[in-house]
Amino acid sequence: MDNNNIIDLLKKIEQKHGIPYECLNVIEINQKEHYKKYFAASGRARVLRHRTGKRVKTTFRFQNGRGEVYLAPTIALLESDVVEYFAKGIKEGVNFLNILLKEGKSFLKRIYISKEDIQFKIIEKFKESKILKGVFEVEVEVNKKFIDIVCKTQNCDWVLEVKKELNMESLGQVLVYKHLYSKENPEKKVKAGIVCLKSDPDISEVCTEYKVKVFVLDK
């Protein structure tokens, strides 16, 4: 299937469901700027990851997320100039458009469901709580792994794992992430923490023993 077939699908979707489209030529745009604005902006990468199952960095950049940006071929769905979903590659893009043509806006409701994703909501709630005051970075990469949150305060950098319920897995993960982050940032004082909605007294005790702070948010 070529570009003409894709444009034909887009036209049919616009006619049937009133969803307009626009075609961009990657030769005529600054791919890096578009990537930063629409896909890698603060918090957007996490939302897109939960909706598509793909990490933005490794999907749109060569060399496992460290190389040059390449956007084509991509179908991106925007609302109010914000990318809400994307399909990368011809086959995936065509499949997405065919379903959209068949189901219309009811399909959009299904792919948007992760707006209610519990982990994303916990992160937003924690940031709003001001329990830690600093600069928050989401999906921070260390040694090809991704830390849920890094909060850079005046005194130290917090490496934070986010879970609905406190468990042993989150303790192990945050200790590994703290080690890797400290290794890449030897000049910084680093602390570890777990943000959750429900604690566990025994695991919390172990966390204290390993100097991992547990932040329990109100549901």
d(CA 99, CA 17) in angstroms, rounded, equals 12
Whether residue 203 sits in one domain with residue 125: yes
Q: Give residue 213's pLDDT band: very low, low, confident or very high (50, 70, 90).
A: very high
Asked if pLDDT for residue 178 goes beyond 90, the answer is yes
Range of the domain at 199: 119-216
Tokens at 71, concatenated: 């956007």
The verdict on pTM exceeding 0.75 is no
Q: Are residues 23 and 125 in the same domain?
A: no
Same domain, 9 and 109: yes
Task: Report the pLDDT averaged over residues 29-57.
Answer: 83
Q: Give yes or no for residue 7 having a pLDDT over 70.
A: yes
Q: Are residues 23 and 9 in the same domain?
A: yes
Residues 129 and 102 both lie in one domain: no
Domain-terminating residue out of 60, 83, 114:
114
172 alpha-carbon distance from chain centroid: 22
Q: Are residues 57 and 124 in the same domain?
A: no
Among candidate residues 81, 114, 147, the one where a domain is terminated: 114
Domain of 170, CATH number, reads 3.40.1350.10
Instruction: For residues 176 and 162, state if they share a domain.
Output: yes
Report the domain count for the chain.
2
State whether 58 and 87 are in the same domain: yes
The phi, psi pair for 174, rounded to 5°, reads -70, -30
User: Tell me, what's the pLDDT at 42?
Assistant: 61
CA gap 163, 149 in Å, rounded: 12
pLDDT at 116: 47
Tell me, yes or no, whether 107 and 143 share the same domain.
Answer: no
Predicted pLDDT at 1: 56
What mean pLDDT comes out for the span 154-177?
95
Residues 42 and 99 in one domain: yes
- Which whole-number Å values give the CA distances from 195 to 2, 52, 184, 216, in the listed order? 47, 24, 23, 6
* The domain boundary residue, chosen from 114, 143, 170: 114
